Amino acid sequence: MIKLADTIQNLPHSPTLWANDLVHEKRSEGETVYHMGFGESPFPVPERLKKALADAAHRKEYLKADGLDDLTDAVREYYRPIYGDEYIEASDIIIAPGSKLILYALQMAIEGDLLMPVPSWVSYDPQAKMLHTDVIKVPTTLDDAGYHINPDDLRKAITDARANGQNPTKIIINAPSNPTGLTIPSDELPAIAKVCEEEGVLIISDEIYGLVSFDGEYRTCAPHAPKITAVTTGLSKHLSLGGWRIGVGFIPKGVEGLHNALRCIISETWSCVSSPIQDACAEAYKGHKDIEDHIQACTDIHALMNKTISKGLQAHGIIAPMAQGAFYNYPDFAPFREALAANGITTSQDVHEVLLKEYNLATLPGKAFGAEAEVLTLRLSGCDYDGAAALEAYQNGEELNEAFVQKHAPRVLKAIDIFGEFIKKYGQSAAEKAA
C-alpha cells in the first residue's frame, strides 16, 4: 500500500483557506456571507506595475537563484533608509515565490527547534512540523500599546526548553502581526534582540506587513541584531500582490553558510521566481511617487477599516485593542466567558462556529494561531469590501470617516453589528437580559 508520510498525514488543512472556500461556496449558493476569515488586501494592481509586467512578458529565461540583479539592487536601496547601512551591508538578499517559502527555507536551513510567540501566524507551526522540529511557545500580551514579548519570558522559554531536552535555535517574530493587527513597540525590540544574541537564537523577522503600519513607523529588529536577524518580506500585503508570488529575504552574513544553504535549497526546489514577475517587481522598489502614494492610500484605508472594527467591538464590551497595522483584529471574548459557557460556548472554535452557522459571519478561531482552545479569541480580517472602488473614492477626495465605511464597506459595519447581536444573545446572563 502506498502511504502518506506521517508529518503530512497529520497536517490539518490550512484554516484560512478552508474558511475562504466555505465562504465562496455559500456565496455561490446565493447566501450573503460576511467574510472576516481571509486576509487578502483588496486593492488593484497599480498601473505602473501592470505595464511593467506586460513589458516583461517576453522574458522566459531561468534567472540566477538569488534573484534578478535589477530587483535585488532596487530592494537593497529601498530598505537602506529603513534598516540603515550596517544591516544592509551585513545581509544578502534572496528572492522567492512568496515570503512563505523563505520562512520555510530558513526553518529548514537552521538546525533545532522553533520559538513561536503566541498568538502567531498559522503557517509557522505546520512548517516546523513538516521539518520534524518542535515548536516552543512563547507567551505574549496584547493591549492598546501593542504586542509584547517580555524578554524574561523569552529567556525562560529558552532555558526551560533546553532543560526539557529541546534545542531552541530560531524565533519568528512578526509585526505588525497577523493575527493581532498590533505591532511590537520599537523600544521593546532591543531587549528581545539582546536575549536572542546572548542565547544564540536566530531572529526571523517576518515583516510582510512592515509597510502597513498605521502610524507610519516601520518597526524592525534588524538594526538591533544585524548579525543574527533574517528578514522576510515581499509585495503581498502593502501592494496587494499575493498572487504574484514574490517574496524577499534579507539573510545575515553573520550566520556562516546560511546564504549558501538557502541558495542550495532554491536551486534544488523552485529554481527561480518567474522572470517577468521579477522584472516587473523591480519597479515596486524604485521609490516611484505613484507607487508610494498607492501604498500610503491603501494603508490609510486599512487603518480606517480596522480601527472602525476595534472601536465597534469595544462598544459591545469585547476586548479589542486598537488596530495598529496589517488588516486584522484579534478580539477576546473573555468578559463574557461565564454567560457563553452557560450557552455551551467554551472554546474559540465554538464562537467561530456559532458566528458562521447562525449569522453567516466567517472568522477564524484563536486556536488556529496557537492559542489554547479555551482562550476565547478570534482573528478578524477587515478586507470584505471592494478595494478598487474604495481606493478610487479616496483618491478622488472622499474623506476617510464613518460615512466612507458606510458607503464602501457596509458588510464590515454589518459584521460589527452581528457581534453585538451575538453578545446580546449568548454573552449575557439571565439577570443581565432581564435588566
CA 67/CA 76 separation, integer angstroms: 12
Question: What distance, in Å, lies between the first and last C-alpha atoms of the chain?
Answer: 64
To ligand PLP, the closest distance from the beta carbon of 92 in angstroms equals: 18
To ligand PLP, the closest distance from the beta carbon of 7 in angstroms equals: 21
Indicate the residue among 240 and 428 with the shorter CB distance to ligand PLP. Answer: 240
Is residue 279 part of the contact set for ligand PLP (CB under 6 A)?
no
Is residue 278 part of the contact set for ligand PLP (CB under 6 A)?
no
To ligand PLP, the closest distance from the beta carbon of 178 in angstroms equals: 4
CA 165/CA 201 separation, integer angstroms: 16
Site string for ligand PLP, 31-70 (x = CB under 6 A): --------x-------------------------------
Task: From 43, 75, 46, 40, select the one nearest 292 (Cα to Cα).
Answer: 46
Largest CA distance in the chain: 72
To ligand PLP, the closest distance from the beta carbon of 401 in angstroms equals: 28
Q: Which of 116, 208, 221, 228 binds ligand PLP (CB under 6 A)?
A: 208
Strands 146-148 and 202-206: unpaired
Q: Which of 15, 37, 46, 98 binds ligand PLP (CB under 6 A)?
A: 98
Name the residue type at position 402.
E
Is residue 321 part of the contact set for ligand PLP (CB under 6 A)?
no
219-258 residues in contact with ligand PLP (CB under 6 A) are 234, 236, 242, 247
Please give the C-alpha separations between residue 38 and each of 32, 116, 426, in angstroms, as whole numbers.
16, 22, 25
To ligand PLP, the closest distance from the beta carbon of 104 in angstroms equals: 10
The DSSP bridge partners found for residue 213 are 325
User: Is there a cis peptide before residue 185, judged by omega within 30 degrees of 0?
Assistant: no
Indicate the residue among 368 and 405 with the shorter CB distance to ligand PLP. Answer: 368
Report angle CA 391, 393, 394 to the nearest 5 degrees.
Answer: 65
Task: From 105, 193, 200, select the one nearest 159 (Cα to Cα).
Answer: 200
154-193 residues in contact with ligand PLP (CB under 6 A) are 174, 178
Indicate the residue among 127 and 310 with the shorter CB distance to ligand PLP. Answer: 127
Q: Which stretch binds ligand PLP (CB under 6 A): 73-81, 96-104, 127-135, 278-286?
A: 96-104
To ligand PLP, the closest distance from the beta carbon of 234 in angstroms equals: 4
Is residue 381 part of the contact set for ligand PLP (CB under 6 A)?
no
What single string gives the DSSP state of each residue in 96-164?
Answer: ESSHHHHHHHHHHHS-SEEEEEES--TTHHHHHHHTT--EEEEE-EEETTEEE--HHHHHHHHHHHHHT
Provide the binding-site residues for ligand PLP, judged by CB under 6 A. 39, 98-100, 121, 174, 178, 206, 208, 234, 236, 242, 247
